[in-house]
DNA sequence: GGCTACACCAATCCACAACC
DNA sequence: GGTTGTGGATTGGTGTAGCC
């Protein structure tokens, strides 16, 4: 597991966010998610222990409000921010670069998903063409009653296209993490393999 | 209006891996 | 070895939609 924040940088960034104003834990998670355009969001198990640790060190303090713990930076926390201003500037630069990298990766995965769907559609068309060809080449018993192959293929085509658009929309809206996309690709690959076996 | 089911929010605990 | 970052499981509170 590759850490997004290197050693000691998450706490620095939490101090930076709290320097903008008091916030509760969940709000900090959402802010980080927004900062990374939805491509990364720290889990609660990451944020709350850090906040507790910062409080023990006297860098933040919290007040209970409406069942929530609202954290606020202390003068000690601001002093650390001033002391590590250069490191914070570097961190901001790194985060900006990371967001660009993650966006590029999402784009690559999107292209890969589209490519896989395109391959599947091409193989289905080819399979349908061969099926039709086979029917012409050798005598076949009278076709069983039922829907013709073409309308079904069209429907299949439409569903694949709709799914491609759906995935593309989610990626553009940054509502899919790279891990989710990787999982989607693995699932899709499995489905493609199953369909290929079916078509053989 | 009251009850129930469900979704979401907020927080805690725990285990694990990587870093210093 | 201690610290830090991470994600998952879990819990408790709250709001809301649906049903009677």
Nucleotide nearest residue A1, measured CA to C1': B17
Q: pLDDT tens digit string along A133-188?
A: 544 444 434 444 444 445 555 555 555 655 565 566 555 555 555 555 654 555 45
Q: What is the pLDDT of residue A162?
A: 55
Give the pLDDT band (50/70/90) at residue A101: low
| Nearest residue by alpha-carbon distance to C1' of C9 | A45
Neighbours of A47 (CB within 10 A): 20
Q: What is the mean pLDDT of residues A109-134?
A: 55
Distance A45 CA to B14 C1' (A): 9
Please give the structure tokens belonging to residue A86.
């250069």
Is A9 within 7 A of strand B by CB distance?
no
A127 CA to B11 C1' distance (Å) = 54
| Residue A111 structure tokens | 């292209």
Q: What is the pLDDT of residue A140?
A: 38
For residue A198, pLDDT beyond 50: no
Structure tokens at A167: 């995935």
Q: Helices then strands (H, E): number in chain A? A: 7, 3
As ranges, strand B nucleotides with an atom below 7 A of a protein CB are 9-15, 17-20
Whether this prediction's pTM lies above 0.85 is answered by no
State residue A127's pLDDT score.
52
Q: With 70 as the cut, is the pLDDT of residue A20 above it?
A: yes
Q: Is the pLDDT of residue A123 over 60?
A: no
Sequence-distant (6+) residues with CB within 8 A of A60 are A14, A15, A18, A51, A54, A71, A72, A73, A74, A77
Please tell me whether any atom of strand B lies within 7 Å of the Cβ of A52: yes
Tell me how far apart the alpha carbons of residues A178 and A1 are, in angstroms, rounded to a whole number.
13
Q: Residue A141: its pLDDT value, please?
A: 43
A25 touches strand B (CB under 7 A): yes
């Amino acid at each position: 597991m590759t850490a997004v924040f290197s050693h000691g940088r998450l706490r620095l960034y939490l101090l930076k966010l709290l320097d903008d104003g008091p916030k509760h834990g969940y709000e900090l998670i959402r802010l980080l998610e927004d900062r990374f355009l939805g491509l990364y969001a720290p889990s609660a198990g990451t944020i709350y222990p850090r906040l507790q640790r910062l409080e023990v060190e006297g860098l933040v303090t919290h007040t209970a409000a409406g069942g929530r713990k609202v954290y606020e930076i202390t003068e000690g926390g601001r002093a650390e921010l001033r002391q590590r201003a250069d490191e914070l500037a570097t961190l901001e630069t790194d985060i900006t670069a990371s967001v660009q990298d993650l966006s590029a990766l999402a784009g690559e995965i999107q292209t890969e998903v589209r490519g896989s769907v395109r391959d599947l559609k091409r193989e289905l068309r080819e399979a349908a063409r061969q099926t039709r060809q086979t029917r012409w080449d050798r005598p076949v018993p009278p076709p069983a009653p039922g829907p013709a192959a073409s309308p079904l293929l069209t429907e299949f085509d439409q569903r694949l296209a709709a799914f491609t658009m759906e995935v593309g929309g989610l990626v553009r809206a940054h509502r899919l993490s790279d891990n989710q996309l990787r999982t989607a690709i693995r699932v899709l690959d499995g489905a493609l393999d199953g369909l290929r076996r079916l078509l053989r």
